[in-house]
Amino acid sequence: MGETAGPPQITDIHRSSRDPRQLRSRLEAWFAELLPEGSSPSVPELDAATSANGMSSETVLLTASWTEDGTRREEQLVARVAPDPADVPVFPEYDLQRQFDVIRLVGELTSVPVPKVWWSDASGKATGVPLFVMERVDGLVPPDVMPYTFGDNWLYDATPEQRRTLQDSTVEVLAELHGIDNVDDRFAFLGLDDPGDTALRRRVNHTKAWYEYARGGHRSALVERGLTWLDDHWPTQEGPAVVAWGDSRIGNVMYRGFRPCAVLDWEMASLGPRELDLAWLTYAHAVFEDLAHVFELPGMPDFLRPDEVASTYESLTGYAPRDLDFYTVYAAVQWGIVFVRTGLRQVHFGEEQMPASVDDFIRNADSLERMLAGTYWS
């Protein structure tokens, strides 16, 4: 690859121009409405969370205190806040009530470790901004900045056995989530309104509409070629729709003892085939693995291999995943859209100069190009 000085100095991505401390008084007033009279709630601590992971909803950490049965109670909480539209958010809308409801129901119907959800102000009527509040869970998250495949972090330094425990226990989460029955009724709110006669058709059409928003008036030839490829290589059998987490990558999970203790970030949840989550899980790792190779780093090539993930999933569920090449291309196209949008976001905040083409923002361009050429799996 020529001379490479080492891994890039990737910095935190600017996510918001909003001062989260402005929420304090509004949260205290809202909590006073929710809690019994005389609770005297206060928010003694409130701050923005680390920006090492995630590029969508804002995360605010807070401590809430109130009087209950004559004694003072204190809870460590997290507020998930819709981003300011002026800050070039990743998605065109943030349905926080939808996220609140899916977390609540998954917690009620399964043993998938989701945080307890407390309250929702999805309209923003009480607090001035759409948000919901959930419990704060302590655990370790594989870092995005720098990517965990670059080394010098707890997952990279783990033993092969510990990594395999994390991999298999994450697949177990997907297996249990996908095992929820009667989803058309229980999770009807996850059904998409986009055109299409199947859940997958509606999901892909939803992605096309998202791309039209995310490109901000620019055109990505690579993303558009990818969307055309999906139409031309549609699976002959889609399989039943399940509750699909959507953003099923390990960077959205907190781990304790190399097992999930909190499954987070449900913004992309929908009804759809199981393979949506399986392909996203493995390709999200592949993106970071490819970045490690660009900078001539060893990476983690034996981790989250698609064949091993599919085999584990089949052993847990009895369902053999199919057409994973299609779903992996679909995952790669979506990552391309994310990179286009976050690149434009960095331009907005003055962190990047606008390139000649938005395709220059797409960090997974090489793998997507090889997928479209049919050489990625050879």
21-78 pLDDT per residue, tens: 678 999 999 999 999 999 999 999 998 764 444 456 789 999 999 999 999 999 999 9
Q: What distances in angstroms separate CA 172 from CA 175, 279, 312, 368, one per listed residue?
A: 5, 15, 8, 28
Angle at alpha carbon of residue 352, lines to 350 and 355, rounded to 5°: 130
What pLDDT shows up at residue 8? 45
What is the DSSP secondary-structure string of 308-376?
HHHHHHHHHHS-----HHHHHHHHHHHHHHHHHHHHHHHHHTTSS---SSGGGG-TTHHHHHHHHHT-T
Among all chains, which residue has been given the structure tokens 């960077």?
Answer: 251
- The structure's pTM equals 0.92
162-211 pLDDT per residue, tens: 999 999 999 999 999 999 999 999 999 999 999 999 999 999 999 999 99
What pLDDT shows up at residue 20? 65
What is the DSSP secondary-structure string of 46-61?
EEEPP-SS-SSSEEEE
Active-site entry in 247, 265, 323, 359: 247
Residue 78, C-beta contacts closer than 8 angstroms, at least 6 positions apart: 49, 59, 60, 61, 62, 115, 133, 134, 135, 136
Which residues, given as ranges, of the chain have pLDDT below 70?
Answer: 1-21, 49-56
What pLDDT shows up at residue 93? 87
66 burial class (0-12, 13-18, 19+ CB within 10 angstroms)? buried
Residue type, position 374, single letter? G
C-alpha 336/C-alpha 223 separation (Å) is: 6
Looking at residue 136, the DSSP 8-state letter turns out to be -
Helices vs strands, H then E, count in the chain: 10, 9
Active site residue 247: yes
Instruction: Give the domains, in start order, of the chain with CATH numbers.
Output: 20-135 (3.30.200.20), 148-373 (3.90.1200.10)
